[in-house]
Amino acid sequence: MRKYFEKDGPLEWLYPVYDMIETMFFVRPEKTVSGAHIRDNYDIKRMMALVIVACFPAMLFGIYNTGYQYYVSAGITPSPWACILSGARAVLPVYVVVYAVGGFWEVLFALVRRHEIKEAFLVTGFFIPLILPPAIPLWMVAVATSFGVVIGKEVFGGTGMNIFNPALVTRAFIFFAYPASISGDGVWTLQNAGSVDAYTGATPLGIASSGIKGDIVRVLSERGYSFYEMFIGLIPGSVGETSTAAILAGAFLLLVTGVASWRIMLSVAAGGLLTGLVMNMFASSASGMLSLPPHYHLVMGSFAFGAVFMATDPVSASATNAGKYVYGFLIGALTVLIRVVNPAYPEGMMLSVLFMNAFAPVIDNVVIWRSTRRRRMRAQG
């Protein structure tokens, strides 16, 4: 079939689509000459496939938890299968919309530019539903995905050229354009007509940032949000961000296969813990968020998901080894700082990663400059 799609063939204009299908099943002999690439014995498709597999624990748990929270809001004790089915009915349509809309823009830009269709959106599209509330309207997902793909990636030249993480650009668009649909207590649980009046879908971060006076750990535990419960993840929140345990299972696969940087993951956690300790130094018995134990930050909100999957994006993160430590540390520190200092926006991971995406090239340039300077001085001495 190739001859029909190659140059001077009757379907030449559809070559990017043919190339996408062919490379999905076969390894091509060509070498990568531009854009994102790795020097190893497998190509981008295999790397992207590993990232998707690593996301499966968080996705599957998120589907279950979405259904679970739906029934809990009505005071019903559901069966596991009921939770899975209810969660799937909410989450899978979001995936369909994301891949349909995002895939349309990817193919359109590839056809216009005569470029091959990259596989990177498979990962971006897998991330987007996991970082959104389960009750997000589908039309809003379509608009935000269009913005994330076109403005967040394609205007920069496509895969490997984007400055910011496209999935987080999508989430940021919803946050600033439709804040009522991605903040507050009502968006984290599917609406249930039989919901009991006493039930609220407040997240642990929402409670912690609500001006609590006194022992914040005790208050969280009374609301069913102990450290263990937040680590397991049967709590309200974005679809794939509630279970630190499931996220760590994916992190293990990424680290064993060498796909993600352990330097970034470790430094994000270190930055969050150290900043949390510093905040505790300024806390009093009635300081609320200031007195939150540092290790609680690691299991609350999107900290774990951001550290494992968002901050380690090889395109928008720092590329030098030394730069990765600085990049990751600042992400963790800024996340906790935003949570504590800005109660109106208790979740700081999204803004921290996007902010450091902008500074990643600067960090790498400084690292390279210092390394070159040291080598020049050794050569001259």
Q: What are the sequence ranges of the domains in the chain?
A: 2-28+36-181, 218-380
pTM: 0.86
Three-state secondary structure of 287-316: CHHHHCCHHHHCCCCCHHHHHHHHCCCCCC
Query: Phi-psi region for residue 71, left (φ > 0), alpha (ψ -120 to 50) or beta?
Result: alpha
Q: What pLDDT is stored for residue 196 in this prediction?
A: 47
Please give the Cα distance from 150 to 35 (Å, whole number).
17
Q: What pLDDT is stored for residue 291 in this prediction?
A: 86
8 Å CB contact between 138 and 104? no
Would you say how long the chain is, in residues? 381
**pLDDT tens track for 250-284:** 999 999 988 899 999 999 999 999 999 999 888 77
Tokens, residue 245 = 């345990």
Query: Phi-psi region for residue 8, left (φ > 0), alpha (ψ -120 to 50) or beta?
Result: left
DSSP states of 19-57 as a string? Answer: HHHHHHHS--SPPP-SSS--SSSS-HHHHHHHHHHHHHH
Q: What pLDDT is stored for residue 177 in this prediction?
A: 92
Q: What pLDDT is stored for residue 133 in this prediction?
A: 92
**pLDDT tens track for 104-151:** 998 888 888 877 777 778 899 999 999 999 989 999 999 999 999 999
Tokens, residue 37 = 């690439």
8 Å CB contact between 130 and 238? yes
Q: What pLDDT is stored for residue 157 in this prediction?
A: 83
Q: What pLDDT is stored for residue 4 in this prediction?
A: 76
Residues of the chain with pLDDT under 50: 193-194, 196-198
**pLDDT tens track for 221-241:** 888 899 999 999 999 999 999
Is the four-CA dihedral 118, 113, 101, 144 of positive or negative sign?
Answer: positive
8 Å CB contact between 162 and 315? yes
